[in-house]
Chains A and B, each alone.
Chain A
Amino acid sequence: MQPKNKFLLGLLSSALVLISTHASAAWELNMPVGVTNISRETYDLHMLITIVCALIGVVVYGVLIWSLVKYRKSKGAKAASFHENTTIEIIWTVIPILILVAMAIPSTTVLRQIYDTSESELDIMITGYQWRWQYSYLDDEGEEVSFFSNLSTTDDQIAGLDEKGENYLLEVDEPLVIPVNTKVRFLLTAADVIHSWWVPEFAVKKDAIPGFINESWVIVEETGIYRGQCTELCGQDHGFMPVVVEVVEKAEFDIWYSERQEAAAAIAELTDQDWTLEQLVVQGETVYRTFCMACHQANGQGLPPAFPALTGSEITTGPIEDHINVVLNGVPGTAMAAFGAQLNPVDLAAVITYERNALGNSVGDFVAPIDILQAQAE
């Protein structure tokens, strides 16, 4: 090969690599093949239908274009007088039915597999909230591992004040962690409105519906981090509750899981500890920013009338029992959710104390985690 040709070839191939890497990042055209058996079969099904449709399209559009070109009046075409033909009508009714039957068979097979949730090795409860996911590992032994997974992209990135990161809007503070090559069953429900939990690379999309428990499952075959989003309109921050799943080796998962159990035990201990008002306010600010700020705003002024102000309100400056009641049980018929089940007693005590002694309020009293436990028992 001539050196010049070699150079050109090299240039061409590097350009191709550039284009294709760029394409996979931004100009993505197709569904991901994914990392589960089901996702691959779904992809194959998708490609099969796409190709069948494309072939039908070639025939249909071909005849159409041919007719438009050939039978133009400007080219002297004279209209024929035929207007029906029973034979051809039967043919173009029967052939599509046969094609549909041929497509229905593999679809049914895949669907039956998707619905087989039996013999799972790990069960995880996924609860949708406005606007975050809660993951609870269902396990009879030891402390329950349960946590919330919140969007971790900063407001400044969203507002364009800061450069957007690589995983903009697809990153969370705590991802769901599951072991590789293990049948994991998901049980999905929601605490307020309908959400939908989707990870494209698993081909799992299932609605999380209040009052229902839906089932789905995966056996992920490759470790890695997989990202998805809520796909059912669930209110203001529907676009800001991503799903992130970290798939790790089984041994690594076991270590992670026991660490989380220990941390849960530590929280139980913290609940019993003596807390001061100042400690609670510091802790409470973090909780407030994650759970309350979206509606009640950073300064506590809210967005009336849907989201009332906390500064100077009857609840945050009145009797503390009422305040605890509202935070624990929510306000039925409004957007105020019941946080009793969402937060641990420490965080609940902290955020209530924060709301009474910050955001322009200075009531001066506080509630200890142990009191929250008591309130919940009542």
Chain B
Amino acid sequence: MSNIGAIDGHDAHHDDDHHHGPAKGITRWIYTTNHKDIGSLYLWFSLAMFLLGGTFALVIRLELFQPGLQFVEPNFFNQMTTMHGLIMVFGAVMPAFVGLANWMIPMMIGAPDMALPRMNNWSFWILPFAFTMLASTLLMEAGAPNFGWTFYAPLSTTYAPETVTFFIFAVHMMGASSIMGSINIIATIQNLRAPGMTYMKMPLFVWTWLITAYLLLAVMPVLAGVVTMMLFDVHFGTSFFNAAGGGDPVLFQHVFWFFGHPEVYIMILPAFGVISEIISTFSRKRLFGYDSMVYATSSIAFLSFIVWAHHMFTTGMPLAGELFFMYATMLIAVPTGVKVFNWISTMFKGSITFETPMLFAIAFVVLFTMGGFTGLMLAIAPADFQYHDTYFVVAHFHYVLVPGSVFSIMAAVYYWLPKWTGNMYDETLGKLHFWLSFVGINILFFPQHFLGLAGMPRRIPDYALQFADFNMVSSIGGFLFGFSQLLFVFVVIKCVRGGKKASAEVWEGSHGLEWTVPSPAPYHTFTTPPPIAENAHARVETKGDV
């Protein structure tokens, strides 16, 4: 374990942490109830999963480099696509945002820690066991789950490998972890805000996480329900999803996507918060339309519950159903557009500099908007009949998730790393990492739009010859992007180990309570609540010029 936040309490002594510093050795990490330690654990875990899931992605891109079966068997290929999806969604993106929430929310609202510190420890420590169990299926005779991360029944029940049971319990554990994590975040935000920190003064990252936490609380039990029904179908002879026993395979999809659609917003709303903080900081200008950002986020969260069947346009829903889900889905473009316009208006007439976090944030706005456009195209049901389950969809959701969620996480890490470690990261290497990632990601995913439109289905290990050229281009981009992430790991470790000392403010345009504590942030912060200015609207001013 490295020591992001593992500040030797004596170096960074501060009025707030006169009790004690962190415990020594491995027990510090096992027993810790400190939000900063747990935040670090989440982030390191997420990084490990990102590299593991990325390795699976490289296996996929390697096999798809040219037509024919060269490296893996079709069944193993399916295991790779499944595990890549599961690990990236549940192991990399979600824990990274929970890690950021742990680190930053208490410091942003002036709280001493999370509201439920012991549960916080448990929420994290469930995860390594859940993912060890899931990944261990790769070593089992029956092989890992091979039915896609969406695990449609009956492929995932009657026709599943025996390891499906490990998958089900791993999902249960991840779900329990997420539910506890979200309860903790809700309890912290609603109860531990410093006096004077009203809801409409909270930083946008806190707002987006509050809404995300409610989404998690609403849908993770639905996921638990659907995998439990699978468990009963597999082991106890029920027929929830088995047509031969009177069950309904389409019911599975309705229940899954009732979870699954809010889930995709769970992976993007905290990103909106991060990007709002960063763009405002490096434009040296207050976020444009704070109130409308909050309302837009809430609208997106509400809409996310009534659009799930747009993933199921080809299942043969009645016309009225298709129309309802098409219209509702198109509506999402409105609040999403508001957000993009607000970010651009924040930059408009600002005083912009281009440090690494800002580069990632700008790329987020550009490329997430690309994903938004293709999302709108996919909402049009008749056109979706052509796009559905092709590489066009793969390109769409990777544009939203990689230069969307993942770039926002990287932006957040570069942005707050000096606060966590007390050291500035290497700006040159950070920028190099950005440009390699930016170029790599576009070579990787942009051609996949064309592949999908030309008719290449997703989740196939081999393809017809007319898809060969773009697949090769895409694979080259994949390797460029994949190996560039080793540079990210290097930059982070280098920064943890040392570097130019960071000031408390770190950034010229920084604003918010987290920048009022020293860098690195002491082990305990805000043991007494900080004063919040009466006239501070929607933000806590720390510097006159912002």
A residues apposed to B, CB below 8 Å: 25-32, 38, 41-42, 45-46, 49-50, 53, 56-57, 60-61, 63-64, 67-68, 71-74, 77-85, 88-89, 92-93, 96-97, 100, 103-104, 107-108, 110-112, 114-115, 130, 157-160, 164, 166-170, 188, 192-194, 196, 198, 200, 203-207, 209-212, 214-215, 227-240, 305-306, 332-333, 335
User: Within 8 Å of chain A (Cβ to Cβ): is B148?
Assistant: yes
Whether A207 touches B352, Cβ cut-off 8 Å, given contacts A71-B283, A97-B334, is no
- B389 and A196 contact, CB distance less than 8 A: yes
Using CB atoms, name the residue of chain A closest to B285.
A79
User: Does B52 reach chain A (CB closer than 8 Å)?
Assistant: no
Interface residues in B341-400 by Cβ distance below 8 A to A read 341, 344-345, 347-354, 362, 365-366, 369-370, 373-374, 376-377, 380-383, 385-386, 388-390
Asked whether, in the complex, the Cβ of B316 is within 8 Å of the Cβ of A73, the reply is no
Q: A26-B468, A68-B362, A239-B463 are in contact. Are A46 and B373 (CB under 8 A)?
A: no
User: How distant is the Cα of A252 from the Cα of B383 in the complex, in angstroms?
Assistant: 33
| A167 contact set on B, CB distance < 8 A | 464
Measured between C-beta atoms, what is the minimum distance from B242 to chain A in Å? 8
Q: Judging by beta carbons under 8 Å apart, are B289 and A84 in contact? A: yes
Decide if B344 touches A63 in the complex (CB within 8 Å). yes
Q: Does B288 contact A (CB under 8 A)?
A: yes
The answer for the CA separation of A82 and B370 in the assembled complex, in Å, is 28
Once the chains are docked, how many angstroms separate the CA of A103 from the CA of B327? 10
What separation, in Å, do the CA atoms of A100 and B354 have in the docked complex? Answer: 35
**C-alpha spacing A50/B326, complex, angstroms:** 17
Q: Contact at B68–A158, with CB atoms within 8 Å? A: yes
10 tightest CB-CB pairs across the interface, nearest first?
Answer: A211-B243, A239-B460, A214-B316, A28-B454, A80-B349, A53-B373, A83-B286, A231-B389, A210-B243, A79-B351
Chain A, interface SS category: mixed
B48 lies within 8 A of chain A by Cβ: no
B450 at the interface (CB under 8 A from A): yes
Cβ-based interface call for B418 (8 A): no
The contact of B455 among A32, A50, A85, A88, by CB within 8 Å, is A32
Look across to chain B and name the residue whose beta carbon is closest to the beta carbon of A69.
Answer: B352
Interface-lining segment among B153-161, B224-232, B521-529 = B153-161
Do A193 and B159 have beta carbons less than 8 Å apart?
yes
**Which residues on A sit within 8 Å (CB–CB) of B373?**
53, 56-57
A166 to B386, CA, bound (A): 23
Question: If the complex has contacts A28-B450, A164-B67, A209-B250, are A233 and B319 also in contact, measured as CB distance less than 8 A?
Answer: no
**B456 CB to nearest A CB, Å:** 8
Whether the pair B338, A239 counts as a contact (CB closer than 8 A) is no
Q: Would B159 and A89 count as touching, CB distance under 8 A? A: no
| B377 with A46: CB separation less than 8 A | yes
User: In the complex, A240 Cα to B453 Cα: how many Å?
Assistant: 20
A156–chain B nearest beta-carbon distance, Å: 10
Closest chain B residue to A65, Cβ basis: B366
Residues from chain A with a CB closer than 8 A to the CB of B244 are 210-211, 332
Smallest Cβ-Cβ distance to A228: which chain B residue: B455
Q: A25-B466, A215-B316, A233-B148 are in contact. Are A108 and B323 (CB under 8 A)?
A: yes
Known: A32-B455, A84-B290, A164-B465. A73 touches B389 (CB 8 A): no
Which residues of chain A come closer than 8 Å to B327, judged between CB atoms? Answer: 104
Binds A, one of B69-77, B130-138, B168-176, B270-278: B69-77
Cα of A30 to Cα of B345 in the assembled complex, Å: 34
Which of B243, B347, B450, B459 is the one whose CB lies under 8 Å from A67? B347
Contacts of B331 in A (CB 8 A): 100
CB proximity of B241 to chain A, nearest CB, Å: 10
> Known contacts A115-B319, A169-B462, A194-B249; is A30 also within 8 Å of B351 by CB?
no
Q: Does B162 sit at the interface, judged by CB under 8 A? A: yes
Taking CB atoms, residues of chain B closer than 8 Å to A50 are 377
The verdict on A64 contacting B366 (CB below 8 Å), with A196-B314, A235-B159 known, is yes
A177 to B78, CA, bound (A): 32
CA distance A57 to B344 in the complex (A): 13
B369 near A60 (CB under 8 angstroms)? yes
A45-B380 CB under 8 A given contacts A26-B468, A82-B349, A215-B316: yes
| B126 adjacent to chain A (CB < 8 Å) | no
- A158 and B341 CA atoms in complex are apart in Å by 49
Q: B436 near A: Cβ within 8 Å? A: no
* CB within 8 Å of A: which B411-467 residues: 450, 453-455, 457-466
Within the assembled complex, what's the spacing in Å between the Cα atoms of A209 and B105? Answer: 46
For the complex, what is the distance from the CA of A168 to the CA of B504, rounded to whole Å? Answer: 62
- 27 intermolecular pairs with C-beta atoms under 8 Å apart: A29-B453, A42-B386, A46-B383, A49-B383, A50-B377, A57-B369, A71-B349, A71-B352, A72-B351, A73-B351, A73-B352, A83-B285, A83-B287, A83-B290, A84-B288, A88-B345, A96-B337, A97-B334, A107-B380, A114-B382, A203-B382, A210-B249, A211-B243, A215-B316, A233-B78, A236-B146, A306-B161
Q: In the bound complex, how far is the Cα of B289 from the Cα of A93, in angstroms?
A: 13
Pick the residue among A67, A115, A160 that contacts B344 (CB under 8 A): A67
Of B78, B289, B338, B389, which contacts A83 at CB under 8 A?
A: B289
In the bound complex, do residue B323 and residue A53 qualify as a contact, i.e. CB atoms below 8 Å apart? no
- Contact pick for A73, options B250, B284, B288, B341, CB 8 Å: B284
Determine whether the beta carbon of A26 is less than 8 Å from that of B290: no
Bound complex: CA A228 to CA B390 (Å): 12
Question: Besides the contacts A210-B244, A234-B155, what 9 more A-B pairs have beta carbons closer than 8 Å?
Answer: A31-B454, A57-B370, A63-B348, A96-B337, A115-B322, A158-B69, A194-B155, A205-B386, A240-B462
- Interface presence of B292 (CB below 8 A): yes
Determine if B382 and A42 form an interchain contact, defined as CB atoms under 8 angstroms apart.
yes
Contact B457 A26, beta carbon cutoff 8 Å: no
Chain B nearest CB, measured from A136 CB (Å): 19
